[in-house]
Every structure is written in structure tokens, then in C-alpha cells.
Amino acid sequence: MQKKEYPLQPGNPYPAGSSTKNKGVNFSIFSRYATHVELLLFSTSDCDEPFQVIALKKEINRTFFSWHVYVTGLPAGTWYAWRMDGPNQIREAGLHFDRDKQLIDPWSRAISDKRWSRKAACIPGDNKLNAMRCVVVNDRYDWEGDVPLRIRSERAIVYELHVGGFTKHASSNVTNPGTFSGLIEKIPYLQKLGITHVELLPVMAFDEQDVPQYTADLGLKNYWGYSTHSFFSPHPGYCVTPEQGTHVREFRDLVKALHQAGIGVIMDVVFNHTSEAGGDGPIINFRGIGDDIFYHHDKHDKSIFHDYTGCGNTVNANHPLVANFIITCLEYWVREMHVDGFRFDLASALARGENGEVLQDPPLLWAIELSEQLAKTKLIAEAWDATGLYQVGSFPGYRWAEWNGRYRDVIRRFVRGDQGLVSELATRLCGSNDLYEYNGRLPINSINFVTCHDGFTLYDLFSYNEKHNYANGEHNRDGCSNNLSFNCGVEGETQDLNILALRRKQIKNVFSMLLLSQGVPMLLAGDELLNSQSGNNNCYCQDNELSWVDWSMNEQKSDMLRFVQLMIALRKRHPSIMRRRFLTGKLLDDRGIHEIQWHGAELDKPLWDDPETKVLAFTLAGTDATEADLHVVMNMAEQAVTIELPVIAHRRWCLALDTSLKSPYDVLLPQDQKLMADDFYLVTSRSVAIFENVCLLNTK
């Protein structure tokens, strides 16, 4: 139905984007060099023609570099896009205007990609039949008193998951698979598991068509979401009714429900590059508005994009206007969407200056750290980029936690049976003080992980020595080839019961070490259910059962789930594992024991200098007299070792965990534990044993 044309007023440059005010809508967008700007208003997200085209006038609708207009009486729910023209000086100035292209608003709170064609946006000319659209959002919402959670970092247990893949499998049995709503239905599972935070793979609107052509020809698409184009908009593919512009409400419903369950929300954000790729990429928003400032270009030939991300472009994050855009965006997600933190993909790319140089004190990263609105949020950096900049242990700032790649590697190597690692292993288990203590940081600066979305699942880590990525269409060239994995004797699937048992034991070994480590543990969703990707370690394009979480339950899955639940419970009842400060090994005078004491197969004899040892043990004192002490033995040798339990006055040891035992004896709650009959215990090959003690003075 034809809509009336709405009357206009000059409008205001702030806030950027579209905002409802006084029964109308203010639109504002930045473009320094545009000479002609049009706002297009649409009845629906997929109609061909706008019902009103508004040509902005420089003398009325421009303030400095902002173009703005107020449309009187325009209701929320109206769809819109922009068109711009200006100098097309690609090589000389990095300016790339195409007056026929429909552009989406970088500040839009909700977009539709229903008719989107990436190919059409890559070639000159009109793409009105294949463009994305923005919608004016009704921002009213009843938070019911919700506020971001303030869970202390030392108590955090992070669970990395993909919103779509978590519930798309038919076995998930949710009403709306693959959506924010579907994830809400799985919150009771997350509560029972015991995690404190979900870390959501990218949920800002991204381009699902951003894959190589040979991959697209196989019917595959960008699944992980590391191809953002609209940083203020939840991804429409995760919404139940995106064509009704419900993105903001649906995401808020998820956050509120998670908070009501005591679970925080960390967003994986991708500010290092955008989906517009390189010189032959699509014009979506930034390239048609301010290509010259938003991306890194070669200083001699501005048509060449500097690519420190491996994705075609790099965001010029330390340009003042771009930095302001990123800060405003982060503050929006905290203030208006109540998220609890952010994990920054390839965060080291954000440390580069406008000419690509590595800055000692990057303005953007310090502005994020010092922002008052972000002061209580978790900040997590993937502290490297795609061109060799590696900043684990030296990422700029103090609040920033880091994905600790060195932790991942040493745990993988030790569990697979590599020799001579016990010294570094001890350092990693204690929070990596060699990386963080020297510059005043803490164990909570280390995000400890062994698996994540990028790489093998934990089941595949002990099922494959080599990657098997042929399904991606790149002849197995993609993905990391140095996986530090161990297939336990057979590559891939097997019916050998001994090998299957060893794989499950190795998985329990990893979970035990991860949840015993000082710092912040991160688990990959589905690892506790023995999920496999058939050896594919780069499922970025596999939106199918290969990468979806399989919820079907059998005895082995049920046993592993129980193991992880109880291991998380063990961590939570021991403040000694969740210290905010580094262990010193000091003598606790009131108890006559050390804060931590290291051992090998024999008490008090750690084999730090033995290049062949595969055994490490330690005794960890409780933080006070009410907390049980822990004695932990990690034996990754091919032979069993008989260990002696340390003598602690007025205390007796109980076996809490032995990864070599079958469920339900592999891990026990305190009420199910029994006092050890003697002071020795046989720790079998490739297994972890944990003992908790009880105070005899408190027993009857």
C-alpha cells in the first residue's frame, strides 16, 4: 500500500543512526566527502521501491561531517537505506562512491538480509533488488530490574558456544532451533552443567555469503560469523521474526533469561575487519561512506588494502572517528543490551596505527580499558593477528585477559605424552606468572583453554593425528596443521574398546587439568558431550550436523557429562583453585604446610630437570581451615606409579577423582568419598588422581 510522504525537518547530528523522538525519527550518518546523500524509506524489508526518497541538502542537513534529517510522524518499524555520491578517487584518496548502491546504516539496531546478494554488491551499479535494509527500532523494553552481572573473574567458568549450532540439531528438541529463543530453552542445561558465563560466537549481524566461491559452490556458507557488517544489530539469522524488526527484543530476552539463571553473557566481537573484504569486495556500508578512514590502505596506492587479518581488510581502529565508533558500539551493548563482557577476535590488529605500525599504547585499547561504562565488563583479547604479531603476555593494558595459547599448547603436549614439560606445566597450572606477574597483572589475565571453536573438538583431539577438512572445498589446505593431537592408536572412528576407553580417559585428563588451573577456564560447548567434527578442524563454513551440537545421549556421553559437572563442582568448592593473586609457595605458619608444594612420583621431589619425566604432582593448601586441601597427581607416562600421600596434621585423605576409573567411581562428591585405608595409591598410566582431605577435629 502506498504510504504518504512525511514532512521533514533539518534534524540533528546526534545520535548517529536512526532514533525515535517526539513521534518522528531522526536519521544521522557520517560521511566526510559525500556530495549527494539520499535517504530511502520502505514499507517492508523486501519491497522493490521506496515510498519516499529524501534528498538531503548540504546547507540544511549537514553539520561538519554528519548528514541528518528528521522525518515527522514516521513510525518505528519503517525500513530504510542510504545512497551516496561523491568523488571516486580510489587510488589517490581511497574514496569509493557508487551513487546507485543502497547502503545500510552502520549504526542501525536491526537489519534484514532477506534479499541480500554479495555478488551484486561487488559490481558497480544498482543493487536495489539485492540489498540489505535497516529498520527503525522501537526501543521500549521491560528489563524487569535486570542489570549486567558482576561475577568476579576468578570465579568465572566460561563456555564458548555458537548460538545457531547449539540448538540446530534435531536432537536439541527446542521450539525454534538455531535462534536466541532456542538457546533460552537450554538454560536449565547450562545451569546444571555449572558454568558461569556463555561466550557467544559472533552475534552481531554478519554476511553468511562471505566464503570463497569454491566453498559456496558446495552449498556452504559463513557459519561462525567472523564477517560482521552491522555492529549494532543482532544477527537476523538468530531471530525468530527478523522481518518484523524484533532483533533487539529477542536478544534482550536471551540476556535477561541468562541473567535470571545467574549466567553472564560475553560476546565474541570482530572489530579487526569487516565483511567488505578487499578492493574487489562488496560495498555494504563503510566502503560507500568513508572507505578512506575506516580501513588500512597502502599510503602510495589507496586502492590496496593492508590485510593483517587474513580477511581482505583491516579496520583502521586507532583513527579517532573509527575508535569513537567502536567505543560507542561497545558501550551500547553494555548499556542497552546488558552484556557482561567481550572477547575480541584477532585483537592485536587493533594495536596497529594508521600506517600499520604496532603502537606501544594504542588509543583504542586504552580507551576501552578506561571507559567508565565498560569498567565492570570482562575484556578478553585473542592477542595475535594473522601476520605474526603475537602479544600473549604483553597485550596493551591491565584489565585485558588473554586467550592463553601457551597454556593450550603445553596441556595438549603433556597429555599426549610429550616429555620434559613439567616445569612449564607447573607454571601454566599456576596462572602463567611468567607472562603476567612481571607487569602487575594477575592469574585472571589468563584465559585457560585447550579447545575452542577454531580447531579440533576435544573428542577429535584424541581421535585424529591429522586434520580432515576436505568437506570445506579447499583440498584440505585450510585449517591448522600443527594440532598437537594424539589419535590413541587409530585415525578416526574405531570399534576397538581399549582405544575408545583411552580416548575418554584423555578427555577426562584435560577437563581435570583445565578446571584445576589458576586463571579463568574456558570450555568448548559440546566437548562434555563427546561431540566430534569427524576430524575437521576448521568448520567455519559447516552449518550442518558436522558442527552442530548433537544432544542425543548414550551411556558414554552421560558419563562424561556427569564427570564434567562434578569436576566443575569440585572447582567451585575450592577457593584455593580460584585465587585472584599468584601463589607464592609460602609456609602457612598456623598449619605448618606450604601454600603449594610440588612433587614428582616421590613426595617433595619434583623432577624439574628430568627431560624424560611425564609425572607431576602438587599439594594445594586450602585458603582457610574450613577448606579441604588438595593433592593432585598427573601421570602421563605409559607406566603406573605408586605415590605416597603427604601427611598433614589432623587431616586424612579421601579419593575425589581418578580418571582411570569407570563412572560413577571416576569422580565423587564429598559425601560419597571414603577415607583412604593407607598412605599409598597406584596412579595408573595416563591418568589424573585428585585427593581431598577432611579435618579429623571436625568429625565425630
Residues taking part in catalysis = 345, 382
Instruction: Give which of 582, 592, 527, 584 is closest to 560, Cα–Cα.
Output: 527
d(CA 293, CA 129): 29
**Phi and psi of 78, rounded to 5°?**
-80, 135
The dihedrals phi and psi of 653, each to the nearest 5 degrees, come to: -90, 145
Give the C-alpha separation, 304 to 315, whole Å: 14
DSSP symbol at 641: E
d(CA 287, CA 283): 6
Beta strands in 583-673 (DSSP E): 587-588, 593-594, 596-599, 615-620, 630-635, 641-644, 651-658
Specify the pairing of strand 79-85 against strand 66-72: unpaired
Within 10 A of 227 (CB to CB), how many other CB atoms are there? 25
- Per the omega criterion (within 30 degrees of 0), is the bond before 15 cis? yes
Cβ contacts of residue 33 below 8 Å, gap of 6+? 86, 87, 93, 95, 97, 290, 292
Report strand pairing: 8-9 vs 66-72: antiparallel
Give 26's strand partners: 19, 70
Ramachandran angles phi, psi of 2, nearest 5°: -65, 125
CA 175 from chain center: how many Å?
A: 25
Compute how many other C-beta atoms are within 10 angstroms of the C-beta atom of residue 77: 13
Bridge-based pairing state of the strands 264-269 and 401-403? unpaired
H or E element in which residue 231 lies: strand 228-234
Pick the closest to residue 205 from 134, 266, 136, 265 (CA basis): 134
Peptide bond into 362 cis (omega under 30): no
Q: How far apart are CA 687 and CA 323, in angstroms?
A: 49
Q: Are 623 and 575 in contact (CB under 8 A)?
A: yes
For residue 141, the 8-state DSSP code is -
State residue 200 phi and psi, 5-degree precision: -85, 125
Q: How far apart are the C-alpha atoms of 475 and 470, rounded to whole Å? A: 5
Pick the closest to residue 220 from 678, 551, 610, 536 (CA basis). Answer: 536
Residue 402, C-alpha cell as written in the block: 588473554
Answer yes or no: are the C-beta atoms of 626 and 651 closer than 8 Å: no
Give the three cell numbers for residue 535. 576430524
